[in-house]
């Protein structure tokens, strides 16, 4: 071993000990003949001092050290003259007796500090240097800790981690697969799994009634910001359970994570909200409930005053923004422009200012008298000093979604979205089916194996569209601070129910056989009632770390073009590889 | 929850309790009006009984149950008339009050018993049914337990599990990569990792001084028996360590595994054997030390008696087989044929019988007198009743290897290879370099980043072939019962040493840059001394489970053609997928 201690562990109690440390030179500086060196490793920073009266060779060696040199030092722990209370090792320093340069270092292309001077692209190219920085180190430490706690919790609950294959079969449903040509089976391809969904259901058929896996998944999508072509899931499935059992088990897991990793207590039990309430009150199926500013429906109360925009709307809703009654016209115009951007897509914004004295002033004074405004303000539950912002439109859910986006934006601006505050909840009672006007058919909101709620099974047999639209799924999402962290469902295990589902979705027997034949066949041999869920592990870690972006919680992420710029991948391969695989490039003209 | 208890937990203490169980019908049988049902789940089997005087519908329902039906039963725990001491639940049975068929089952294509009547191919096709069988369930349970213990041990030792990417870059060294065409980067490919070697070394450069990962690896090889295209490694790396530190850390891990998972104590410290001793005495770099029958060199003592075969040999060696002096001529002929098979490749077998009275009788009596034979027997340390088997040849290591193979075969036949006995050890002091006569150059025995032993660094600078051949590597293998379970090395972290290695291997600067430029460049920024190893996780589990084959320790393995016959993969993909990927099939004529 090159060291007796790490750079994070020596304290005043170690005073007088002879120690050996090894690490990287964070910085070195001369001060009145003495040389001070900050030595860094994964565990912390310890200050080294080479005294002015040390042997000349030692002083010279200390002076020659560059940033990020790897050195080993022997010396004695001494009490510091000027202590640094910000560092755990700040009471001591090492009086250096000898220095051994283990490796020199070229000057890094950016500073290795919590706040680096390097741009995103440069830091991605030299990811192995960026990973030396504190924020990334803490992110990966958190990730390790979270994974370990997940495993401990689930193991204690009798779950088995079972590895499922990565070289599987391309399926005709869902997003695009990454595929892998098979050399031994020319003309044929494996696919990389988008999730182990099929395999975990097979494991239930096989009787492994509590399965989990922290597993990589792959999706060849056009990458939006903060999506990765490979990502990690906490994937789980249970047999002989109802929805209630799944929710209890996994909110227990999340509670354990927050408590054991962050020391944070989250409510027990967690709040549950129906999808309908989430949409009506928050304009989102993943509501951020850290703050209020909920949506109030104003449809009936705001219509019929001769203002065409509202009179013609199918839905009118509003939110009340605390302290915003005094917004300038410019501020309100800016908000109006903000919601008119294509990302939100609103046509405009109506406002009512509620003065400190309760007086009301609006952008629609022309059509609405004081009493009308008062009734709207009452329906919106507006308080003095608030600004009521109102939107309307043809499609209730669309208007609610726009109000929800505005709510989140204003919540952020007003400082209501503290990343260190955690407000998890379950969203339940999703509609089972979504009607598509264009194709005039129903689609499964989750997937075609999601079971209806037991109390809605009769409704599910109805032939009426209005009935089918009311059927709720035995499905659930785990939501935290406006993000969906996980979701799942109780699966259909009964052949007749599955047949009915395909019927409702307009999937004929041939299509069902082609798309799902394998799993349906497996289910013939005694499938137990089962259900499960999956959490997006990268995002669980990022949110627990108080970050929006998952990128720093992945050791070696890819950029938005799906490239690893550090290793420069993907890349061309040798002709001989193509030949062995019996494939050829077939590049389209640019 | 569909059950109050599992099928493995009820005992006589539960007598009188009303319980609900759910599981699969293992079998049902009528006995004097009563119906007995064995109900199975992951946890065990519980006997159910429907009394003769139960309501007729219940009796009828019980009678109608087929094998593998999924049922839920409610009833009372009662003491059995005839207890079954072989079953943990054998003291009780459930007097059934009601049965709820949760799912019917088609008759499985083979019996779901510890010994199934299904052939290998059929069971692979219906793997989800095969997985219901006891041996596979116990295999996966062991695997889960081993993984969990590995993680607990390494976490407690300060190791961080860090996930490395699966979509990486194809490298020109080593075995064949599986590749993944990139749709977003047409004409370019990712590769699936053969191991995270590069990334774990980068993590050391990044300062994560104790890394591990239980990680999938991929190798597009022509599959030999019991090799899989995807397999799992316990991959580890440490910084600021010497070989001794790595060995101590990981033999501690293996000791913890054996103790905590199997209750088996393995020696502390583990034996270590040099590669030279392993080859000389066991004819293998992964010796099975559960039994003796070691190889004795007889070169000097057996030459010069006019027997051309031996006189012309560069090496002569023998093993003594206990109790085999009485082998018939037919038995010895069979052994001779066995070693002449191409898998062993020997030219023949010389024998000397050592009678119970010490008398010697050999196949070479024509050339060797009693004294000659006695000298050979003494050199072979033969005891009365043993049969000395002798081989010779041009190449010492080849002859030793053949003797080693014969030794293992006979050890197996003689019952010396008990799979429940565990004899782990480290093999150390590997040669750093292997000379290849054909190309007249040295090759790295492990890989070109393996460091020489510190005490051989001077020798490594020599230009003499004889000196370089003597240089030992700072490398080590973990061997158990004749299997290599893991191996690794201390890496070269010093640029000058690396340059020397490339020089010795005849790798010019351009080639080095092409093949290893990326990692060499990363090393410029302050690489710490580091080293590590990787264990073959599938094989660790199989051997701990007392099995030779890894296949039952993988939930969904592939066959020898790399196919998953259950999901029928690899398979053709749609033309539209090929088009999007801008590749075309280029199939050779058959």
Check whether A538 has a pLDDT greater than 70.
yes
- The pLDDT value recorded for residue B589 is 78
By Cβ distance, the residue of B42, B206, B561 closest to A208 is B42
By Cβ distance, the residue of A180, A187, A199 closest to B556 is A199
Asked if B177 and A105 come within 8 Å (Cβ–Cβ), the reply is no
Portion of chain B with pLDDT greater than 70, in percent: 100
- Those of residues 539-568 in B touching chain A at CB distance below 8 A are 554-556, 558, 561-564, 567-568
Pairs across A and B, CB distance < 8 A: 358
User: Is B85 exposed, middle or buried (CB count within 10 Å of its CB: 0-12, 13-18, 19+)?
Assistant: exposed
Asked if A189 and B241 come within 8 Å (Cβ–Cβ), the reply is no
> Looking at residues B10-38, what average pLDDT do you find?
96
- The Cα–Cα gap between B512 and A203 comes to 47
How does residue A590 score in pLDDT terms, banded at 50, 70 and 90? low
Q: Domain ranges in chain B?
A: 12-103, 135-268+535-579, 291-413, 423-531
> Looking at residues B115-141, what average pLDDT do you find?
96
Q: pTM of the prediction?
A: 0.96
What pairing do the DSSP bridges indicate for beta strands A189-191 and B433-436? unpaired
State chain B's mean pLDDT as an integer: 95
How does residue B590 score in pLDDT terms, banded at 50, 70 and 90? low
Check whether B224 has a pLDDT greater than 90.
no
pLDDT in tens, B459-503: 999 999 999 999 999 999 999 999 999 999 999 998 889 999 999
Tokens of B506: 């005849």
Check whether B192 has a pLDDT greater than 80.
yes
Tokens of B204: 């050391």
Taking CA atoms, what residue in B is nearest to A161?
A: B144
- Those of residues 36-55 in A touching chain B at CB distance below 8 A are 40-42
The SS3 of residue A259 is: helix
How does residue A29 score in pLDDT terms, banded at 50, 70 and 90? very high
Where is A261: in which H helix or E strand? none
By Cβ distance, the residue of B104, B578, B582 closest to A588 is B582
> Looking at residues A318-331, what average pLDDT do you find?
96
Check whether A518 has a pLDDT greater than 80.
yes
User: Tokens 């899931």 appear where?
Assistant: A233
pLDDT in tens, B198-219: 999 999 999 999 999 999 999 9
- Those of residues 161-200 in A touching chain B at CB distance below 8 A are 161-170, 172, 176-192, 198-199
Residues in B closer than 8 angstroms to A169, CB to CB, are 564, 567-571
Taking CA atoms, what residue in B is nearest to A493?
A: B103
Q: How far is CA B303 from CA A561, B310, B347, B349, B366, in A?
A: 70, 6, 18, 16, 14
pLDDT in tens, A37-53: 999 999 999 999 999 99
Of residues B177 and B588, the one with the higher pLDDT is: B177
The domain B12-103 having CATH identifier 3.10.20.440: the answer here is no
Check whether B253 has a pLDDT greater than 90.
yes
CA distance A126 to chain B (A): 8
Cβ neighbours, 10 Å, residue B144: 21
pLDDT in tens, A342-360: 999 999 999 999 999 999 9
How does residue A511 score in pLDDT terms, banded at 50, 70 and 90? confident
Does B220 lie at the interface with A, CB-CB under 8 angstroms?
yes
Residues in B closer than 8 angstroms to A522, CB to CB, are 128
By Cβ distance, the residue of B151, B184, B526 closest to A148 is B151
CATH superfamily of B135-268+535-579: Bira Bifunctional Protein; Domain 2 (3.30.930.10)
Does B221 lie at the interface with A, CB-CB under 8 angstroms?
no
| β-strand partners of A94 | A48, A77
Nearest alpha-carbon partner for B418 in B304, B264, B201, B567: B264
> Looking at residues B126-141, what average pLDDT do you find?
97
Taking CA atoms, what residue in A is nearest to B529?
A: A102
- The Cα–Cα gap between B296 and B503 comes to 38
Nearest alpha-carbon partner for A352 in A338, A367, A363, A339: A363
pLDDT in tens, A124-159: 999 999 999 999 999 999 999 999 999 999 999 999
- The pLDDT value recorded for residue B52 is 93
How does residue A432 score in pLDDT terms, banded at 50, 70 and 90? very high
By Cβ distance, the residue of A2, A104, A493 closest to B103 is A493
Give CATH for domain A291-413.
Answer: 3.30.1360.30
Backbone angles phi, psi at B380, to 5 degrees: -85, 0
- The pLDDT value recorded for residue A369 is 93
Q: Give per-residue burial for A238-277: e unless 16+ CB within 10 Å, then b.
A: bbbbebeebbebbbbbbbbbbeebbeeebeeebeebebee
Nearest alpha-carbon partner for A228 in A549, A479, A547, A447: A549
- The pLDDT value recorded for residue A399 is 97
Asked if B148 and A144 come within 8 Å (Cβ–Cβ), the reply is no
Residues in A closer than 8 angstroms to B587, CB to CB, are 186-187, 582
- Those of residues 125-164 in A touching chain B at CB distance below 8 A are 126-129, 131-132, 137, 140-141, 143-144, 147-148, 151, 155, 160-164
Check whether A172 has a pLDDT greater than 80.
no
Check whether A183 has a pLDDT greater than 90.
yes
> Looking at residues B416-425, what average pLDDT do you find?
97
Check whether A292 has a pLDDT greater than 80.
yes
Where is B363: in which H helix or E strand? none
Q: How far is CA A262 from CA A96, A254, A257, A546, in A?
A: 37, 11, 7, 11
Of residues A96 and A223, the one with the higher pLDDT is: A96
Could you tell me which residues come within 8 angstroms of residue A450 by beta carbon, excluding any fewer than 6 positions away?
A432, A444, A473, A474, A475, A489, A490, A491, A492
Check whether A224 has a pLDDT greater than 80.
no
pLDDT in tens, B513-560: 888 888 889 999 999 999 999 999 999 999 999 998 999 999 999 998
Check whether B233 has a pLDDT greater than 70.
yes
The SS3 of residue A512 is: helix
Return the minimum-mean-pLDDT range out of A380-394, B79-93, B220-234: B220-234
| β-strand partners of A564 | A569
Crossing angle for the helix pair B197-205 and B509-523, to the nearest 10 degrees: 50
Portion of chain A with pLDDT greater than 90, in percent: 92
Check whether B10 has a pLDDT greater than 90.
yes
Backbone angles phi, psi at A279, to 5 degrees: -70, -45
Check whether B226 has a pLDDT greater than 90.
no
Residues in A closer than 8 angstroms to B586, CB to CB, are 578-579, 582-584
- The Cα–Cα gap between B521 and B73 comes to 66
- The pLDDT value recorded for residue A482 is 97
How does residue A581 score in pLDDT terms, banded at 50, 70 and 90? very high
Preferred mutation among A39, A573, A580, A590 to probe B, highest tally of B CBs within 10 A = A573
CB B402 within 8 A of CB B346: yes
Taking CA atoms, what residue in A is nearest to B146?
A: A161
Residues in A closer than 8 angstroms to B494, CB to CB, are 103
């Amino acid at each position: 071993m090159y060291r007796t201690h790490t750079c994070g562990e020596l304290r005043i109690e170690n005073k007088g000990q002879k120690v050996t440390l090894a690490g990287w030179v964070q910085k070195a500086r001369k001060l009145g003949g003495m040389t001070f060196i900050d030595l860094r490793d994964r565990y912390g920073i310890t200050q080294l001092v080479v005294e002015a009266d040390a042997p000349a060779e030692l002083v010279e060696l200390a002076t020659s050290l560059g940033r990020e040199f790897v050195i080993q030092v022997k010396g004695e722990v001494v009490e510091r003259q000027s202590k640094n209370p910000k560092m755990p090792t700040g009471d001591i320093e090492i009086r250096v007796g000898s220095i051994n340069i283990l490796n020199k270092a070229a000057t890094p292309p950016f500073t290795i500090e919590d706040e680096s001077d390097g741009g995103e692209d440069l830091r991605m190219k030299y990811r192995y240097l960026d990973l030396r920085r504190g924020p990334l180190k803490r992110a990966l430490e958190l990730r390790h800790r979270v994974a370990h706690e997940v495993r401990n919790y689930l193991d204690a609950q009798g779950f088995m981690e079972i590895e499922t294959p990565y070289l599987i079969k391309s399926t005709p449903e869902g997003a695009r697969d990454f595929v892998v040509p098979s050399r031994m089976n020319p003309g044929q391809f494996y696919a990389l799994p988008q999730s182990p969904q099929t395999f975990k259901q097979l494991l239930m058929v096989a009787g492994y009634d509590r399965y989990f896996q922290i597993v990589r998944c792959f999706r060849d999508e056009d990458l939006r910001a903060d999506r990765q072509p490979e990502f990690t899931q906490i994937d789980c499935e249970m047999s002989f359970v109802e929805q209630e059992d799944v929710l209890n088990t996994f909110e227990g897991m999340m509670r354990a994570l927050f408590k054991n990793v962050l020391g944070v207590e989250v409510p027990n039990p967690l709040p549950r909200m129906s999808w309908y309430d989430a949409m009506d009150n928050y304009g989102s199926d993943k509501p951020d409930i850290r703050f209020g500013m909920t949506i109030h429906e104003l449809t009936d109360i705001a219509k019929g005053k001769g203002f065409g925009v509202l009179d013609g709307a199918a839905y009118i809703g509003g939110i009340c923004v605390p302290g915003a009654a005094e917004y300038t016209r410019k501020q309100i115009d800016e908000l109006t422009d903000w919601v008119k951007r294509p990302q939100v897509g609103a046509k405009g914004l109506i406002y009512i200012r509620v003065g400190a004295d309760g007086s009301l002033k609006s952008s629609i004074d022309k059509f609405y008298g004081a009493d009308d405004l008062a009734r709207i303000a009452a329906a919106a539950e507006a308080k003095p000093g608030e600004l009521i912002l109102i939107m309307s439109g043809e499609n209730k859910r669309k208007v609610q979604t726009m109000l929800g986006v505005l709510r989140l934006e204003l919540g952020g601006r007003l400082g209501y979205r503290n990343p260190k505050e955690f407000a998890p909840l379950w969203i339940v009672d999703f509609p089972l089916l979504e009607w598509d006007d264009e194709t005039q058919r129903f689609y499964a909101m989750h997937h075609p194996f999601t079971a209806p709620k037991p109390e809605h099974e009769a409704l599910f047999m109805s032939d009426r569209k209005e009935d089918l639209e009311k059927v709720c799924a035995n499905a659930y999402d785990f939501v935290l601070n406006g993000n969906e962290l996980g979701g799942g469902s109780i699966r259909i295990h009964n052949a007749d129910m599955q047949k009915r589902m395909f019927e409702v979705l307009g999937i004929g027997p041939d299509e069902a056989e082609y798309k799902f034949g394998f799993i349906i066949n497996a289910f013939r041999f005694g499938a137990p009632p089962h259900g499960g869920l999956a959490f997006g592990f990268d995002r669980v870690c990022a949110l627990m770390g108080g970050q929006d972006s998952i990128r720093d919680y992945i050791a070696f992420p890819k950029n938005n073009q799906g490239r690893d710029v550090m290793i420069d991948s993907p890349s061309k391969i040798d002709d001989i590889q193509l030949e062995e695989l019996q494939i050829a490039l077939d590049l389209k003209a640019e």
